[in-house]
């Protein structure tokens, strides 16, 4: 089954403790991206990757890092999480203009 898989689905952590949210797709898509969703703000792009080893900033990249060492994986790294990064995160891959989303990761930073 074609899918984008994010883990974990829920994560509660404390300020400053590094964390990684994993994202994997099995559709051989070149383009992948990360979004965060906040109430009243919709979805905003954090980072995107056009292909392996090619990443670029989206609209709200501050406080985040990504890597794209292989086509299927696109992890989101928070080196020092802060409470304002409490949000719902979505990973997506794209084919022919259509985004396929993962099921989301709800992150709470206390």
Partner 1 sequence: AQKVTQAQTEISVVEKEDVTLDCVYETRDTTYYLFWYKQPPSGELVFLIRRNSFDEQNEISGRYSWNFQKSTSSFNFTITASQVVDSAVYFCAGGGSNYKLTFGKGTLLTVNP
Distance of CA 16 to the CA centre of its chain: 19
Residues 6+ apart with CB under 8 A from 99: 33, 92, 93
The dihedral formed by the CA atoms of 51, 52, 54 and 59, expressed in degrees to the nearest 10? 60
CA dihedral over 36, 103, 28, 75, signed as positive or negative: positive
Determine if 88 is a binding residue for partner 1 (CB under 8 A): yes
Determine if 1 is a binding residue for partner 1 (CB under 8 A): no
Determine if 40 is a binding residue for partner 1 (CB under 8 A): yes
Closer CB to partner 1, residue 9 or residue 17?
9
Closer CB to partner 1, residue 4 or residue 109?
4
Determine if 99 is a binding residue for partner 1 (CB under 8 A): yes
User: What residues make contact with partner 1 under the rule CB under 8 A?
Assistant: 31, 35, 40-45, 48, 88, 90, 94, 97-101, 103-104, 106
């Amino acid at each position: 089954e074609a899918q984008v898989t994010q883990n974990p689905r829920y994560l509660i952590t404390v300020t400053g403790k590094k964390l990684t949210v994993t994202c994997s797709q099995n559709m051989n898509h070149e383009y992948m991206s990360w979004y965060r969703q906040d109430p009243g703000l919709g979805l905003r792009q954090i980072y995107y990757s056009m292909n392996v080893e090619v990443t670029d900033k989206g609209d709200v990249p501050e406080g985040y890092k990504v890597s794209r060492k292989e086509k299927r994986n696109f992890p989101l790294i928070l080196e020092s999480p802060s409470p304002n990064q409490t949000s719902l995160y979505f990973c997506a891959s794209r084919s022919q203009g259509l985004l396929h989303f993962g099921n989301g990761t709800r992150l709470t930073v206390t």
